[in-house]
Chain A
Amino acid sequence: MENQFFVDSEKLSERALAKKHQLEQDPTSRKDPMEYFPDMEQIHSPVREKVIAAMEAYDYDSYTAVDVRRALNHETCTVEDFKALLSPAALPFLEEMAARARLETSRHFGNTVYLFTPLYIANYCENYCVYCGFNCYNDIKRLQLDAGQIEHEMKVIAASGMEEILLLTGESKTKSNVSYIGEACKLARKYFKNVGLEIYPVNTEDYRYLHECGADYVTVFQETYDLKKYETLHLLGHKRVWPYRFEAQERALRGGMRGVGFSALLGLSDFRRDALATALHVYYLQRKYPQAEFSLSCPRLRPIINNDKINPLDVGERQLCQILCAYRIFLPFAGITVSSRESAAFRNGIAKICATKISAGVSTGIGDHEEKYTGKDEERTGDEQFEICDTRSLEAMYADMAAEGLQPVLNDYLYV
């Protein structure tokens, strides 16, 4: 079974439609995904080759219960152990994996769970990524907040008690350029203790500038580490350049950011191989940049506006839990964020095992926080990137996490 991603909007011109269809049907009409655009910095890092070689050699069906048992008996988790824990042979050991993951989490993080919220400031996008609600051919309401509107949103969010914010944009370098994002970071520093970014990948110097504006964490989702699949999903735009995206975290660290986040979007390709590659991406970069902080996310595909059929395919909750436990056991020091794509019940449960960071009061739309927080109608809002599942407010999340025996933490960070 495969997802059906292609949806034609009636509003597209004949020319646009023809181009869209050509991109979808004729692979030769698409740019080489390995070829950088001229403005893209190339850093020649060996990390990518190591990660991809390991992923391609990964035969998860070759692992048995004996390998899984051996992995769980090891005090530290080797790369081979991690491969066993990700394999189908480990699924019957899920409860044991969860117990081990919980122990590692408590050793490194105690019973704390960090709360944050994302703020989308623009949804313009120049990419055609077939599964994403913001893709340039999708008929949605587009909006970019100006400085005043951004500040208004931040005030509403800050009033809820939130102290950590993640700023997001669609991937339009022309509409949402680096200085626009930098100004948003400066505003965010006024209202929040901790500012993270989830924007299109940029060069080292741009990361340095954004760091100086107040951002200290950069998250870039690779979506899938399977280049062949990636090429069929990201048909147009800067995002199509797969290696430039892969190297984003490294450029961010070179630009002075304290921490970086990683993720594959599960459901796009073979999830076990993507999970392996994601963790190895962290593993090899940690060896190269030992001072940096690392975090992982584990999003699954969700329905979008105009396509409610998109789903995470074979990645069920048990599989998701297995991946997250394996991540925790292999990379006990890494933060793990679980998105509002997942249900409240799943997030409550996983926070007690291995997640360290949970979003609350989430909107993936633009300029609609007041409407969503207080019910007050707002004149112009932009449409959502994807449907969320867990809609709890900060207050509700705080109370629920405390009721689960966890200590919610709004800030554990200093900009120095």
Chain B
Amino acid sequence: MEKQEDCLVIGGHAFHSRFILGSGKYSLQLIEAAVQDAGAEIVTLAVRRANTKEQENILDYIPNGVTLLPNTSGARNADEAVRIARLARELGCGDFVKIEIMRDSKYLLPDNAETIKATERLANEGFVVMPYMYPDLNVARDLVEAGAAAVMPLAAPIGSNKGLATKAFIQILIDEIDLPIIVDAGIGKPSEACEAMEMGAAAIMANTALATAGNLPLMAAAFKDAIAAGRKAYLAGLGRVLTRGAAASDPLTGFLHD
């Protein structure tokens, strides 16, 4: 039997890696090493950061062959996100866009309502839209309706490295939404990335967890392994976990005869 390839498909594009790498919190010279050691095929970057003159443009540091995922950070509502996405296209960042709309400068929590509006408008303009959102099932369904190519719920506040604080709600999205669920923000450790993948997440996005590590390329490699392990475990089907005691050797229904 021919082994079927396990790909992440977003908006008709297939990727082998399930690790999406952020680029905004560490030195430009490290981006290439991080991409290589993470085996990442998608790298996010802030359009506002790419909106620079010739000197040290972050775009110049992203290796060829990597799919750019420009984000709309800095947008405070749907209008601004749409404008930033269009600028990303003009800057040559392609058709992918990660919508980030924040009305809170302290926690940088996404504004779900504005995100739905921006998703609809940008999907209509032909973008492959990947909205960053607070994990709410109704909102996720609206995003599907609006034309999103994936849904990116947060695990914990961005930059917090707090892990799967919203685990139960992410699981609901994984169970109920037919698009890839990509866990974004808050993942601090490879073990947490692995856990999310075991749950059935389609991919993991991380930035701060790498940026704050002692050795960035090594941490990138650790995430790569953890994500691959979690994916394999998900595909293999996790064994049961007993909540208490051991399995009863005499089944309760052993008396049934026909």
Q: Is A110 an interface residue (CB 8 A)?
A: yes
Q: Are B74 and A107 in contact (CB under 8 A)?
A: no
Q: Is A64 an interface residue (CB 8 A)?
A: no
Q: Which of A128-136, A142-150, A284-292, A338-346 contacts B (4 or more CB under 8 A)?
A: A284-292
Residue among B47, B52, B160 having the largest count of chain A Cβ atoms under 10 Å: B52
Known: A103-B212, A107-B212. A412 touches B49 (CB 8 A): yes
Q: Are B105 and A293 in contact (CB under 8 A)?
A: yes
Distance in angstroms between the alpha carbons of A161 and B57 in the assembled complex: 12
Identity of the chain B residue whose Cβ is nearest the Cβ of A193 in the assembled complex: B51
Q: Is B208 an interface residue (CB 8 A)?
A: yes
Q: Is B56 an interface residue (CB 8 A)?
A: yes
Place the interface of chain A in its size category: 20 to 34
Q: Is B90 an interface residue (CB 8 A)?
A: no
Among B52, B79, B87, B104, the residue within 8 A (CB) of A411 is: B52
Distance in angstroms between the alpha carbons of A107 and B103 in the assembled complex: 19
CB interface residues, A 384-416, toward B, < 8 Å: 402, 405-414, 416
Q: Is A319 an interface residue (CB 8 A)?
A: no
Q: Are A111 and B106 in contact (CB under 8 A)?
A: no
Among A109, A333, A408, A410, the residue within 8 A (CB) of B25 is: A109
Known: A414-B48, A416-B80. A291 touches B103 (CB 8 A): yes
Q: Is B83 an interface residue (CB 8 A)?
A: yes
Residue among A103, A108, A291, A407 having the largest count of chain B Cβ atoms under 10 Å: A407
Measured between beta carbons, the chain B residues less than 8 angstroms from A161 are 53, 55
Q: Are A407 and B26 in contact (CB under 8 A)?
A: yes
Identity of the chain A residue whose Cβ is nearest the Cβ of B207 in the assembled complex: A110
Identity of the chain A residue whose Cβ is nearest the Cβ of B52 in the assembled complex: A411
Distance in angstroms between the alpha carbons of A112 and B212 in the assembled complex: 12
CB interface residues, A 67-103, toward B, < 8 Å: 103
CB interface residues, A 153-174, toward B, < 8 Å: 161, 163
Identity of the chain A residue whose Cβ is nearest the Cβ of B209 in the assembled complex: A107
Q: Are B48 and A411 in contact (CB under 8 A)?
A: yes
Among B47, B52, B105, the residue within 8 A (CB) of A286 is: B105
Q: Are A410 and B84 in contact (CB under 8 A)?
A: no
Distance in angstroms between the alpha carbons of A32 and B207 in the assembled complex: 53
Q: Are A290 and B74 in contact (CB under 8 A)?
A: no
Minimum distance in angstroms from B99 CB to a CB of chain A: 14
Distance in angstroms between the alpha carbons of A414 and B160 in the assembled complex: 25
CB interface residues, B 76-97, toward A, < 8 Å: 76, 79-80, 83-84, 87
Q: Are B212 and A416 in contact (CB under 8 A)?
A: no
Place the interface of chain B in its size category: 35 or more
Distance in angstroms between the alpha carbons of A333 and B83 in the assembled complex: 25
Minimum distance in angstroms from B8 CB to a CB of chain A: 26
Among A107, A110, A410, the residue within 8 A (CB) of B53 is: A410
Q: Is B161 an interface residue (CB 8 A)?
A: yes
Q: Are B51 and A414 in contact (CB under 8 A)?
A: yes
Q: Are B49 and A409 in contact (CB under 8 A)?
A: yes
Distance in angstroms between the alpha carbons of A109 and B25 in the assembled complex: 6
Q: Is B221 an interface residue (CB 8 A)?
A: no
Q: Is A327 an interface residue (CB 8 A)?
A: no
Q: Is B197 an interface residue (CB 8 A)?
A: no
Among A107, A112, A290, A409, the residue within 8 A (CB) of B106 is: A290
Measured between beta carbons, the chain A residues less than 8 angstroms from B123 are none
Distance in angstroms between the alpha carbons of A110 and B207 in the assembled complex: 9
Q: Is A207 an interface residue (CB 8 A)?
A: no
Minimum distance in angstroms from B76 CB to a CB of chain A: 5
Known: A290-B105, A290-B106, A291-B103. A108 touches B52 (CB 8 A): no
Residue among B51, B87, B104 having the largest count of chain A Cβ atoms under 10 Å: B51
Measured between beta carbons, the chain B residues less than 8 angstroms from A411 are 48-49, 51-53
Identity of the chain B residue whose Cβ is nearest the Cβ of A331 in the assembled complex: B106
Q: Are B74 and A416 in contact (CB under 8 A)?
A: yes
Among B28, B76, B103, the residue within 8 A (CB) of A407 is: B28
Minimum distance in angstroms from A258 CB to a CB of chain B: 8
Q: Is B46 an interface residue (CB 8 A)?
A: yes
Q: Are B53 and A286 in contact (CB under 8 A)?
A: no
Q: Is B75 an interface residue (CB 8 A)?
A: yes
Identity of the chain B residue whose Cβ is nearest the Cβ of A283 in the assembled complex: B106
Known: A107-B160, A110-B211. A410 touches B56 (CB 8 A): yes
Nearest first, the 3 closest Cβ-Cβ pairs linking A and B are: A110-B25, A416-B80, A414-B48
Between A and B, 26 residue pairs with Cβ closer than 8 Å are A106-B212, A107-B159, A107-B160, A110-B24, A110-B208, A111-B26, A111-B211, A163-B52, A163-B53, A193-B51, A193-B52, A290-B103, A290-B104, A291-B76, A291-B104, A291-B105, A294-B105, A333-B105, A405-B27, A411-B48, A413-B48, A413-B51, A413-B74, A414-B84, A414-B87, A416-B79
